[in-house]
Copies of this chain bind each other. A is one copy, B any other.
Amino acid sequence: MAVYTIVEEDDLEAFLADYDVGAALSFKGIAEGVENSNYVLVTDKGRYFLTLYEKRVKAQDLPFFLGLMEYLATRGLPCPVPLQRKDGSGAISTLCGRPAALISFIEGMSMSRPSTSHCRAAGRALADLHRLGAGFGLTRANAMGPDGWRNIARDIGARADRVASGLSRVIAAELDFLGEHWPDNLPRGVIHADLFPDNVLFLRDHLSGVIDFYFACNDLLALDLVITLNAWCFERTLEFNVTKARALVSSYGEHRPLSSAELAALPVLARGAALRFLLTRTIDWLEQPAGAIVRPKDPCEYLNKLRFHQQIGSAGEYGLDA
């Protein structure tokens, strides 16, 4: 949510000389994204995103992230495309001592209060991403999957109770439950893993782009669907909106049909998806630097979502057709 590295004009000019993008007309650091430094660059040839990858994104993962964006975009998913350097040496450069990439700019606005029709569009885009990503050659393990949850829970330990009374016991019990019930034999593939409304752009009601692939990995496709469901289908009052859930899941299913095993697993997967964000938000909340400007997101939002899914016995109870 900030610019961590200040890029000066000499460095920018030298960097741009490696690309076929013309000369800079405007260059603004923007307050957006995971912990990277992001700039909007306007040149006489167009508009671009310039990202410098700071600590949270590992350099070794960039070929996966950038390669995936390129792979999906060339197959028709509306998503940013990393620009290739003129000398054919790829899309990953170094700028101010950090890995950096120039990425095409996508117009559109994210919806902080998505409507049912936005949910429908998101469901379709996610199914498209899963179908189109099927042939991508690189793989990346999900650092935020079940093993990752256990590691984070261990780091958090009893401190969870500072966030909400009894939370450490809720987490331990949920990890036990998911350890027993987590499905292993569902369709796997490339997932976005973070398709929150911030990461989907719209022009009016038309979906113009899926962005921020920096959690993408290989895992259960239906897990990606419930991560998205959790992010799009609860109201701000934390009530589950059945109409939005039906729109998201049915639109997804029209473009990548869900097996009955996947449908049956949704409640368990949704608990795992809720636990994943409960855990990362809890640790971000506990480890926020004193006086930081960026407020961490509320972990209790995901505790409430987890509790909701704990009451659900079957996908039919979400209002979805089994």
Residues of A within 8 A of B (CB): 1-4, 6, 8-10, 23-32, 40, 42, 107-113, 203-204, 289-294
Contact = CB atoms under 8 A, between A and B. Distances in A.
A153 to B, nearest CB: 26
Given A29-B30, A42-B107, 6 more contacts: A6-B112, A24-B109, A26-B108, A28-B30, A28-B40, A29-B31
Contacts of A26: 107-109
Contact of A9 (B10, B111, B294): B111
A23 B205 CA distance: 13
A126 to B, nearest CB: 21
Contacts of A292: 291-293
B113 A8 contact: yes
* Most B CB within 10 A of own CB, among A2, A25, A31, A107: A31
Copies in the complex: 2
A2 B25 contact: no
A44 to B, nearest CB: 10
B204 A23 contact: yes
Contact of A25 (B23, B29, B111, B203): B203
Nearest to A41: B109
B32 A32 contact: no
Contacts of A28: 28, 30-32, 40
A245 to B, nearest CB: 22
B112 A8 contact: yes
A28 B290 CA distance: 27
A56 to B, nearest CB: 14
A292 B292 CA distance: 5
Give the most central of A25, A28, A109: most B CB within 10 Å: A109
Contacts of A42: 107
Contacts of A32: 28-29
A293 B40 CA distance: 21
A246 to B, nearest CB: 23
A162 to B, nearest CB: 18
8 contacts: A2-B293, A4-B293, A28-B28, A28-B31, A28-B32, A30-B30, A31-B31, A289-B291
Nearest to A27: B109
A9 B31 CA distance: 17
A48 to B, nearest CB: 13
A283 B113 CA distance: 41
A2 B1 CA distance: 9
Contacts of A10: 113
Contact of A31 (B3, B113, B203, B204): B3
A2 B29 CA distance: 10
A2 B25 CA distance: 22
A25 B40 CA distance: 15
A47 to B, nearest CB: 9
